[in-house]
């Protein structure tokens, strides 16, 4: 039996309850925060490789706090905190550090995408312990590198390579961050801060992924560690004028196809960043990229951060460009031979797979791809027939030198073979002329009988 429609009074009551509930929810909405900078990785990105976004041994910040698999490192964080507090005892104590966090509670909460459910005291304890740990880790790393004679061989992180690598991985994760301003405030009360800048400490720690970039002072207001390492990679070339919205961005050909069309690959010199890519007069100039166990989480988390926070998709664009250049192991060999790519993974297939899956579902519009002009120039150059002819001539010379003139003996044998071939041809020609000399009609009469 069909349900009878509600009466006018019942309808009025339903409308009143819906309006009241929605108004209550809308009134309780917090204002949109301009401080928000620490995000959950979007599920569409996480599906590609969840491990690249998930901490292995240590939680930093509230997102992964309390996970059972990360509990064993809580004692390590406490020991690092004790070392930090004992060194700053002449300047501040634990209550003073806790006060720094408590006074910034509202700003800290606004830095996280999710509404944090921890109480004030719970959140302050999480942020204080994790922030002190990060600062002390950078200081310990600095002392470890600059004072080898006094290294603490019992350090539970730096003295164990596997542990050091795992923590390094975890500090590169977008979800595993505390606000940068908290780290700076705590570092200022350390005696070392009077002689070494905090940026230098961070650079020393992350230099294995920055690969020799000079420590550049930046006017960018750093939000967290992922934001810092991304800032050091920003390209020197200016942001180009956006292309027409909705137009698919133009990719380029693989390294092998470009080389066959006459393009030369060259390693950049000086202080250029990873994202500086220049193409001029048939030469593609790029910075060296070292591919190792940290490369994937490093790039993936910067891409995730760009997707959530930045309009300029620099890291995403770089991943797309590398995916265009790399299709097969031959492309990797070309980039490796000129010094642009250094493969520390071992397998060229692993490197190809890394770049071929890095940027999926991150960009759809040409206005976001910052290498459009370089790709257009590469494609125009590679379609030129004159450049293709020059490349074919160059490849022929390379093959001759590699296969036939790689050593003096092979070169002598090739020259001898050529001389023998010329002499044979000359002898045959002379014999031919002797037979028919003075009477060319004999040559044509021989074949005339067949007609």
Return the pLDDT at 443. 54
Same domain, 53 and 171: yes
Same domain, 188 and 327: no
Cβ atoms of residues 252 and 379 within 8 Å: yes
Same domain, 264 and 294: yes
pTM value > 0.85: no
Same domain, 178 and 216: yes
Same domain, 212 and 357: no
Same domain, 55 and 195: yes
- The total number of structural domains that make up the chain: 3
Residue 248: inside a domain, yes or no?
A: no
Residue 424: inside a domain, yes or no?
A: yes
Task: Report d(CA 3, CA 6) in Å as an integer.
Answer: 9
Same domain, 330 and 417: no
Return the pLDDT at 419. 78
* DSSP-based three-state secondary structure for 280: strand
Cβ atoms of residues 321 and 275 within 8 Å: no
Provide the pairing of β-strand 277-280 with 283-286: antiparallel
CA-based end-to-end distance of the chain:
104
Residue 441: inside a domain, yes or no?
A: yes
> Residue ranges of the alpha helices (H) in 112-232?
120-146, 161-171, 180-187, 198-210, 225-231
Task: Give average pLDDT by consecutive 10-residue segment, the chain, 451 residues.
Answer: 75 84 76 84 90 95 94 95 93 93 96 94 97 97 89 91 95 97 96 92 87 54 93 70 52 87 87 83 90 89 93 89 90 92 86 82 68 89 69 54 57 68 73 62 54 50
Same domain, 285 and 339: yes
- Any idea what the Cα angle at residue 337 is, between residues 331 and 341, rounded to 5°? 70
| Domain span holding position 167 | 43-223
């Amino acid at each position: 039996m069909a349900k009878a429609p509600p009466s006018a009074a019942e309808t009025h009551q339903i409308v009143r309850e819906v309006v009241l509930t929605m108004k209550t929810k809308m009134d309780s909405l917090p204002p949109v925060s301009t401080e928000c900078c620490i995000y959950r990785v979007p599920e569409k990105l996480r599906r590609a490789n969840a491990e690249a976004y998930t901490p292995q041994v240590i939680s930093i910040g509230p997102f992964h706090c309390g996970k059972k698999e990360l509990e064993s490192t809580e004692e390590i964080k406490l020991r690092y905190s004790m070392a930090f507090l004992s060194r700053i005892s002449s300047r501040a104590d634990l209550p003073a550090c806790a006060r720094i966090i408590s006074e910034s509670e509202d700003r800290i909460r606004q830095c996280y995408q999710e509404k944090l459910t921890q109480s004030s005291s719970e959140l302050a304890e999480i942020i204080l312990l994790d922030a002190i740990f990060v600062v002390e880790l950078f200081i310990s790393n600095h002392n470890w590198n600059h004072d080898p004679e006094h290294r603490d061989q019992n350090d539970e992180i730096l003295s164990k390579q596997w542990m050091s690598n795992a923590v390094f991985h975890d500090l590169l994760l977008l979800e595993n961050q505390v606000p940068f301003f908290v780290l700076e405030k705590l570092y200022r009360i350390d005696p070392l801060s009077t002689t070494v800048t905090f940026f230098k400490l961070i650079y020393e720690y992350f230099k294995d992924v920055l690969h020799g970039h000079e420590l550049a002072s930046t006017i960018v207001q750093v939000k967290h560690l992922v934001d810092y390492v991304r800032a050091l990679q920003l390209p020197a070339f200016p942001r180009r004028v956006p292309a027409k919205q909705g137009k698919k961005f133009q990719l380029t050909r693989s390294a092998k196809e470009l080389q066959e069309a006459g393009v030369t690959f060259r390693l950049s010199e000086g202080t250029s960043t990873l994202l500086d890519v220049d193409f001029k007069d048939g030469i593609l100039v790029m910075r060296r990229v070292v591919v190792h166990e940290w490369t994937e989480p490093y790039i993936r988390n910067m891409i995730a951060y760009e997707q959530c926070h930045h309009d300029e998709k620099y890291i995403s664009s770089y991943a797309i460009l590398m995916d265009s250049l790399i299709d097969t192991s031959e492309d990797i060999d070309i980039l490796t031979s000129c010094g642009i790519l250094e493969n520390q993974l071992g397998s060229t297939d692993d490197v190809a797979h890394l770049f071929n899956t890095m940027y999926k579902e991150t960009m759809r519009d040409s206005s976001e791809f910052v290498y459009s002009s370089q790709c257009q120039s590469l494609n125009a150059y590679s379609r030129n027939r004159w450049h293709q002819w020059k490349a074919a001539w160059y490849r022929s010379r390379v093959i001759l030198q590699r296969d036939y003139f790689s050593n003096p003996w092979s070169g002598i044998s090739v020259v001898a073979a050529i001389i023998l071939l010329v002499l044979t041809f000359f002898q045959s020609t002379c014999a031919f002329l002797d037979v028919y000399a003075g009477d060319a009609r004999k040559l044509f009469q021989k074949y005339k009988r067949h007609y």
